[in-house]
Chains A and B, each alone.
Chain A
Amino acid sequence: MTSIWEPVIGLEVHAQLLTASKMFCGCRAQYLGMAPNSNTCPVCLGLPGTLPVINQVAVQLTIRTALALNCEIPEFSKFDRKNYFYPDLPKGYQISQFDLPLSLNGLLEFEVEGRLVRAGITRVHLEEDAGTLHHAGEIQNASFSLVDLNRAGVPLMEIVGEPDLRHPVEAPAYLAALRRTLIYLGVNDGNMEDGSLRCDANVSLRRTGASELGAKVEVKNMNSFRSIQRALDFEVARQTELLDQGQSVAQETRGWSELEQVTVSQRSKEEAQEYRYFPEPDLPPLVISRAYVAELRAALPELPMATRRRLREQYALSEEQARLISETALDAAYFESVVAAGAPPAAAANWQVQNLQALCNAAHISVSGCPVRPELLAELITMVVTDQVSGAVAKEVLAEVFETGARPSAVVLARGLGQVSDTAELERLVAEALAANQKASADYQGGNDRALGSLVGAVMALSRGKANPKAVGQLLRDRLPRK
């Protein structure tokens, strides 16, 4: 695409924090699956006379995230009220942060199409989530709405990105990198479907090379990586067309319609909200000591990009393997445990990424949480590389270990799957196979190498997979000397 217009995109991400309780009251932060309005108290219902009290862990997790995103942590921070009326907002204001957020000026590095992109993080601040609304059909046409306040007051981190993205394809990559970081930190579960991770985008176009920004359109309602990509593609095309025709782009809020695959105007600038922010008088400010910041910084785990780099270098993994294994910190830790338990890194990577991952995906569980503990996978891999079992048998064994959590050696023993390397037994099987496959024997002796493969296969079949294929090959060659 060669356009004279350059997209300027920034993302605003809202991430629910994995605390036990809500932001300002003792209700549960995990509300999914509960009966409506059964996870509330006078505080999060916004009943008259009730007051908020800050969840200390929510502050901690936000600073932790901000540090992982290379932000500065100012010494002084406070909460503000963002005032607007909406039925999912019980108090008529959201407790959020306006001019003195917990963190500022960060940076997120991510790769897209093999390129390293560095996008600025404007700020990471802390606020409270709203409740949820249910309607019959689309909100615009529903004759009434129903309000569930189970989610109201869940701690929500807002991560505001600088408008540093220059192509729609960078948006899902940015979000994926951010999501991976949040999961690494254990601050968010990364679930976009359930809305515990949500993303809005600001999109504008400017003449390539220009420095001032065009009219900004805020795009909402994108509930997956795919919808982000499509919504931004659509929006960039829409704005390009307007500008190409000499028209101007209206500054407004637009929603992505999954059904129609278009963005739809929701609110113009004229109707823009006037939030009347002011300092929350019910909450004393926060003074974040340098010692506390240092303590949280020291406790940061290795982050995805670093893990990926290290896996590649330390274990000589391919780029692809390193990327897959570093998807979560737990996956990476699993891999390293398997290696530590004696499996060669290359084999460990293959078995984890291919065989084990497939089993886990089918069962909707994580590698780190599956019954195949790292030492069990290592034991199995060791049995393969020392020719105690064949690869094919090992896959069967893995499936059983995945079901039962039993030791691979015990499974092999119990099911008599041990590889047969005993020469007398193999000689007997080879003799039987040669007797039954005289044509193949002749072909091999006549110079056809592929015939040896089918003979090995025949022996393997007779042994029901237990014969050691290498030993069988050797025996066959010994028995069938070529002229």
Chain B
Amino acid sequence: MAIEHTNLSDPAGIDPKQVARLSRLSRLGLSDDELQRLGSQLGAIVAAVDKLAEADTDRVDPTAQVGGLTNVCRPDVVLEGLSQGDALANAASQEAGLLRVPAIQ
């Protein structure tokens, strides 16, 4: 396997529709101006990150985590948690012991 791709990205920026999708997916609520600016910055960063394509990663396993630990588990034991009051203490909006959020649709 040789290098699979070169410059997926356009250094001038990434597609505004794509940026809008990223903003929506990550709930960033960006304005059109912000999308524009972010698009060109992301374009530049992604272009730099395209450097990865040059690395020879044939037959290399991915590393998600260093340290080599495995099977770190806890015993199935119940521990004291928070009271309802403490659980909700930081919430901006609550009602009858429940967290309140606006209409889902």
CB A145 to nearest CB in B, in angstroms, measures 5
Chain B residues at the A interface, C-beta cutoff of 8 Å: 25, 27, 64-65, 67, 69-84, 87-88, 90, 95-105
Contact A54-B74, Cβ < 8 Å, known A38-B84, A87-B99? yes
* A356 lies within 8 A of chain B by Cβ: no
Contact A146-B100, Cβ < 8 Å, known A37-B84, A37-B87, A40-B82? yes
* A405 lies within 8 A of chain B by Cβ: no
Could you say which of B70, B78, B79, B95 contacts A146, with CB atoms under 8 Å apart?
A: B95
10 sampled A-B residue pairs with Cβ under 8 A: A21-B76, A25-B79, A45-B87, A55-B74, A56-B75, A144-B101, A146-B99, A149-B99, A284-B70, A285-B70
Query: Contact string, A38-54, partner B, CB cutoff 8 A, digits 1/0?
Result: 11111011010000011
Among B65, B81, B84, which residue has the most Cβ atoms of chain A within 10 A? B81
Is the CB–CB distance between B103 and A142 below 8 Å?
yes
Q: Which residues from B are CB-within-8-Å of A59?
A: 73
Contact A149-B87, Cβ < 8 Å, known A26-B79, A37-B98, A58-B76? yes
The A contact surface, by secondary structure, is loop
Is the CB–CB distance between B76 and A144 below 8 Å?
no
Q: Which residues from B are CB-within-8-Å of A58?
A: 76
Interface residues on A, range: 35 or more
CB < 8 Å A-B pair total: 124
Could you say which of A27, A47, A57, A148 contacts B98, with CB atoms under 8 Å apart?
A: A148
Is the CB–CB distance between A53 and B74 below 8 Å?
yes
Q: Which residues from B are CB-within-8-Å of A35?
A: 84, 97
Q: Which residues from B are CB-within-8-Å of A146?
A: 95-96, 98-101
* A216 lies within 8 A of chain B by Cβ: no
Q: Which residues from B are CB-within-8-Å of A39?
A: 81
Is the CB–CB distance between B73 and A55 below 8 Å?
yes
Q: Which residues from A are CB-within-8-Å of B80?
A: 26
Is the CB–CB distance between B100 and A53 below 8 Å?
no
Task: Give bound CA distance, A121 to B3, whole Å.
Answer: 37
Is the CB–CB distance between B64 and A286 below 8 Å?
no
Task: Give bound CA distance, A35 to B74, whole Å.
Answer: 27
Is the CB–CB distance between B101 and A287 below 8 Å?
no
Contact A53-B73, Cβ < 8 Å, known A37-B99, A146-B96, A149-B99? yes
* A314 lies within 8 A of chain B by Cβ: no
Is the CB–CB distance between B88 and A37 below 8 Å?
yes
Is the CB–CB distance between B71 and A36 below 8 Å?
no
Is the CB–CB distance between A36 and B81 below 8 Å?
no
Is the CB–CB distance between A54 and B73 below 8 Å?
yes
Is the CB–CB distance between B104 and A41 below 8 Å?
no
Is the CB–CB distance between A26 and B77 below 8 Å?
yes
Is the CB–CB distance between B72 and A284 below 8 Å?
yes
Task: Give bound CA distance, A40 to B98, whole Å.
Answer: 12
